[in-house]
Structure 1
Amino acid sequence: MGMVGTVGLVLHPQRDSKKAIDTILRWAADKGATVLGLPEEVGRIDCTAVPVDADALVERADLLVGLGGDGTMLRTMRLLAGRPTPILGVNLGKLGFLAEIDVDELAGTLSAIDDHRYTIEPRMAIKSRLGGTDVTAFNDIALVRIPGEGLAAIAVTPAGSDFVRFAADAVIVATSTGSTAYSFSAGGPIVSPRVEAVLVVPAAAHSSFNRALVLPADEEVTLEVLPTSGRLAVEVDGAVVAHLCPGDTVTVAAWPGAAKVVRLGTTFYERARRKLRVDGSAEAL
């Protein structure tokens, strides 16, 4: 008996997903499976997917399919955080790290998953509490300077030990998944998603010490906005969700294995080489 009786859809807000959705609907019709989607997303496309709210989508789906790119996959992972439901990423545009397949491979991939011919790559998240609201990120939580309001002056305290103070454009707390995103652009290391670690990376630090910290998943890290800091924006996976002022603190903790991403053979290193155009030194070629 196949494992997929209900497929849930999460769509990119702008990219054309009609071909992918039609492929999923045809596959589901042949298998007698149900296809669900969020009303505001499937409502803009002429299709027979059943509109349900986010809670029903998460509760009922045996497989969640993110149609878009890495941003859509991050949103899908946050929807399912803490649940064992597998997530398949389908690339609809630029090559990403999280999407596993292109649209032309979709029907065969759904059948492979239905036949249990796939592996799961657990993805760690990080979580915090901002203004009384719990937030979860699969890439990063960043404290970012607001133009015209001064630098981000932040004390970093891992596991209760005062360690370093940065004056920078931003201080980024990233997962291994996020090591190839904002953290990477700030000079942080590339870390395999199999490594459950928390990275703390300053962006454009005004200091002779500008190194990233790599912390184990069982240690919390607290960021304190210092009196010399300007007002800061807090970005969660790239979206501004709050602002902080001097004296405010944010504590970030790891959430190991918070999402389960479907893999069918590609490796992180293959995706990283293509996406980041890793060629190495010319002298070594």
Structure 2
Amino acid sequence: MKNIGINVNTTKDPNKKMVDIVIETIRKKNTDINIRVYEDCMGLNEIESSKLDVIIVLGGDGTILNTLRHMHKHSVPILGINMGHLGFLAQVDNTNIDVAIENLFDGKYSIEERTMVECSYHEGGETRNYCGLNDVVIYKALSSRIQKYEVFINDKFYNTFDADGIMVCTSTGSTAYNLAAGGPIIHPELDTLALTPMYSQSPASRTIVLDGKSKIAVKVRRDNEIVFLSADGQEWIETDSANVINIFRSKYKCKLIKFAENDYFTTLRKKITYRAKECEGEVYEGNKTC
């Protein structure tokens, strides 16, 4: 390990105190490491990411998704240090930086590969591609009425939905926007894509969980209207409703650094179940189910 990147969300660390702590901790382990610091992904691109052995992300899950958007083609392992609200992907707490970095240098970690999702469509004589870890969302314009979406799976007609939008998520993304839209939680080790009609008029519209190799095509039935497309909610792209949006498993993988104490079900319980109970006004002690 010779080159380490640090990408910091400056809204979470405006005075760079956490950046300084991380750099100091790394230097204590190895003074010869080349450290590159990026602020809000500025300067982080394909060329830069190709030089990195690992990148440490200071922020929340959104910061990890933004980082991944800039460097997913090189599959650089990501160590997320949570300074945000939820921290489902960034599981290292900012109070445990010393231990996390020590384990990183001592090789006491594993790399968990997560499936990514990709979409493509043709516009203006070129093919446009967008990639995400969590999901791809097709959504009506704010001023538009409910749209009709025709959905095809592996070139076979599946159904037409009267809905605000269509979401296709990975197993990782099942606990993100998909969960808020009424979709199921799917274990991240499963190679799946889940398609969820968003806020459909039909009570029979439910999520369908598909094999990860499935190819999905979505066509908006009303022409001459604007629809928006987003991968991981990082950027909303305006596109013509006449375009067919193809959604499929990406050839790229997200690599997350995991330590022995990072258990998925513990994270799920703390980040989802406990928070749901708190929202309902119930005090949920962490040791009740341990």
TM bin (shorter chain): 0.7 to 0.9
Query: Are residues 1:175 and 2:170 paired?
Result: yes
Task: Name the CA distance, whole Å, in 2 between partners of 1:128 and 1:84.
Answer: 18
Residue 205 of structure 1: CA displacement? Answer: 0.7
Which residues in structure 2 correspond to 1:89-238 (within 5 Å)? 89-130=80-121, 131=123, 132-227=127-222, 230-238=225-233
Residue 93 of structure 1: CA displacement? Answer: 2.6
Q: For each residue in 1:141-183, what CA deviation from the matched residue of structure 2 results, as whole angstroms up to 9, or x when unmatched?
A: 1111222211131111111110111111211011111111111
Are residues 242 and 41 of structure 1, via their aligned partners in 2, closer, same or farther at CA, if it must alter by over 3 Å? closer
How many matched pairs? 270
For the residue of structure 2 that corresponds to 1:239, the secondary structure is coil
Q: For each residue in 1:244-285, what CA deviation from the matched residue of structure 2 results, as whole angstroms up to 9, or x when unmatched?
A: 3443210011026611101112222222222222579x9xx9
- Output the amino acid matched with 1:147: L
Task: Name the CA distance, whole Å, in 2 between partners of 1:105 and 1:188.
Answer: 33
Aligned match of 1:75 in 55, 66, 78? 66
Residue 84 of structure 1: CA displacement? Answer: 4.4
Unaligned runs of 5+ in 2: 283-288
Task: Name the CA distance, whole Å, in 1 between partners of 2:175 and 2:233.
Answer: 13
Are residues 19 and 134 of structure 1, via their aligned partners in 2, closer, same or farther at CA, if it must alter by over 3 Å? same
Residue 76 of structure 1: CA displacement? Answer: 2.2
Same amino acid, percent of matched pairs = 24
User: Cα RMSD (Å) of the superposition?
Assistant: 2.4
Are residues 157 and 228 of structure 1, via their aligned partners in 2, closer, same or farther at CA, if it must alter by over 3 Å? same
Task: Name the CA distance, whole Å, in 2 between partners of 1:151 and 1:159.
Answer: 25
Are residues 53 and 237 of structure 1, via their aligned partners in 2, closer, same or farther at CA, if it must alter by over 3 Å? closer
Aligned match of 1:250 in 245, 256, 267? 245
Aligned to 1:275: 271
- Output the amino acid matched with 1:270: T
- Output the amino acid matched with 2:188: P
Aligned to 1:48: none
Unaligned runs of 5+ in 1: 44-51
Does the 8 A contact of 2:8 with 2:19 survive in 1? no
Does the 8 A contact of 1:20 with 1:106 survive in 2? no
Residue 42 of structure 1: CA displacement? Answer: 9.2
Task: Name the CA distance, whole Å, in 1 between partners of 2:162 and 2:75.
Answer: 40
For the residue of structure 2 that corresponds to 1:129, the secondary structure is strand
Are residues 194 and 229 of structure 1, via their aligned partners in 2, closer, same or farther at CA, if it must alter by over 3 Å? farther
Does the 8 A contact of 1:227 with 1:246 survive in 2? yes
Task: Name the CA distance, whole Å, in 2 between partners of 1:80 and 1:116.
Answer: 23
Q: After alignment, is 211-220 or 14-23 more displaced?
A: 14-23
Q: For each residue in 1:199-235, what CA deviation from the matched residue of structure 2 results, as whole angstroms up to 9, or x when unmatched?
A: 1101111114211111111111001111279532112
Does the 8 A contact of 1:234 with 1:243 survive in 2? yes
TM-score, normalised relative to structure 2:
0.85
- Output the amino acid matched with 1:35: I
Residue 41 of structure 1: CA displacement? Answer: 4.7
- Output the amino acid matched with 1:23: I
For the residue of structure 1 that corresponds to 2:148, the secondary structure is strand
Q: For each residue in 1:59-108, what CA deviation from the matched residue of structure 2 results, as whole angstroms up to 9, or x when unmatched?
A: 22211111100011112223332434311000113132100211221122
TM-score, normalised relative to structure 1:
0.86
- Output the amino acid matched with 2:270: R
Residue 53 of structure 1: CA displacement? Answer: 4.9
Residue 119 of structure 1: CA displacement? Answer: 1.2
Aligned to 2:17: 19
Does the 8 A contact of 1:199 with 1:215 survive in 2? yes
Q: For each residue in 1:106-139, what CA deviation from the matched residue of structure 2 results, as whole angstroms up to 9, or x when unmatched?
A: 1221121111100111111111224432210111
Does the 8 A contact of 2:66 with 2:234 survive in 1? no
Aligned to 2:77: 86
